[in-house]
């Protein structure tokens, strides 16, 4: 299969300044799309990505800062995209929060943040974007997690949030059909958290239980998102990008 061209399309990628989000933004841009780079706090990285993409194709990238948990954020982001590019073809819900919440230590704030970032924000962004995506015959791609199906111990609220995102993906595929396709990518071990949540021994155990025997790269997720953006007869699906690890979970 050849990579689908996204020439003249516009994609909004949340959490796009760094890591997996930046890889998705670069991949879709290389395929021809203009990119709305959403970010929350990574000012320098967002500015550099915007500069890089615009250097490759003038006027093709716009950075927009915002807290996705703010009630005005969905409409503000969609409005910024339309003001700059006058259309919206793809919404990639990549922004996420991830940290452990062992049972017995869960606080209301943990629920608000993890459910908010991983489930509530994608829902309200999808709702705000839906009219424009329908006009374009576009698509939504949610970044889920293999632990949506098989929970990760001590990450109870996160696992519940991602399970909700998978359910949201399938429900939106029904609600928005036939005009808008909605799918998800479920990564496995791709980019380790930068705050040391997984000790070296645990990382080694995870790699050892992965059939392909290695971690993936951000580009692997970006490639899957690219495919789903351009797959005209695929909707309501969750594509695992995990080196086969979910076989053993």
Choose, from 39, 99, 155, 158, the residue flagged as catalytic. 158
130: nearest Cα among 166, 168, 96: 168
Q: 7-21 as b/e, with b when 16 or more CB fall inside 10 Å?
A: eebbbbbbbbbbbbb
Q: 139-166 as b/e, with b when 16 or more CB fall inside 10 Å?
A: bbbbbbbbbbbebbeebbbbbbbbbbbb
Q: Catalytic site residue 99?
A: no
Collapsing DSSP states into helix, strand and coil, what is residue 238? strand
Q: How many CB atoms lie within 10 A of CB 136?
A: 17
How far is residue 128's CA from residue 122's CA, in Å, rounded to a whole number?
Answer: 10
Q: Measured between alpha carbons, how far is residue 31 from residues 59, 183, 224, 246 in Å?
A: 15, 19, 13, 30
81: nearest Cα among 33, 31, 122, 117: 33
Neighbouring residues of 70: CB distance < 8 A, sequence distance ≥ 6: none
How far is residue 144's CA from residue 152's CA, in Å, rounded to a whole number?
Answer: 13
Enumerate the active-site residues: 158
């Amino acid at each position: 299969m050849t990579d689908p061209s996204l020439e003249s399309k516009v994609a909004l990628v949340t959490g796009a300044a760094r890591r997996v989000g930046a890889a998705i933004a670069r991949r879709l841009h290389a395929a021809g799309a203009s990119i709305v780079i959403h970010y929350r706090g990574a000012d320098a990285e967002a500015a550099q990505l915007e500069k890089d993409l615009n250097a490759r194709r003038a006027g093709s990238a716009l950075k927009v800062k915002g807290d996705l948990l703010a009630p005005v954020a969905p409409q503000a982001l969609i409005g910024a995209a339309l003001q700059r590019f006058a259309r919206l073809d793809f919404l990639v819900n990549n922004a996420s929060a991830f940290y452990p919440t062992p049972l017995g230590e869960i606080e209301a704030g943990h629920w608000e943040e993890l459910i908010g970032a991983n489930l509530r924000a994608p829902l309200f962004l999808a709702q705000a974007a839906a009219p424009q995506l329908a006009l374009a015959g576009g698509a939504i791609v949610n970044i889920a997690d293999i632990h949506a199906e098989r929970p990760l111990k001590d990450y109870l609220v996160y696992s519940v949030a991602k399970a909700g995102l998978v359910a949201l993906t399938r429900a939106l595929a029904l609600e928005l059909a036939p005009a808008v396709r909605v799918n998800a990518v479920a990564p496995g071990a791709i980019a380790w958290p930068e705050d040391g949540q997984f000790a070296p021994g645990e990382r080694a155990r995870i790699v050892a239980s992965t059939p392909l025997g290695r971690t993936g790269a951000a580009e692997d997720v970006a490639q899957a998102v690219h495919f789903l953006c351009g797959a005209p007869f695929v909707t309501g699906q969750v594509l695992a990008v995990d080196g086969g690890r979910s076989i053993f979970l």
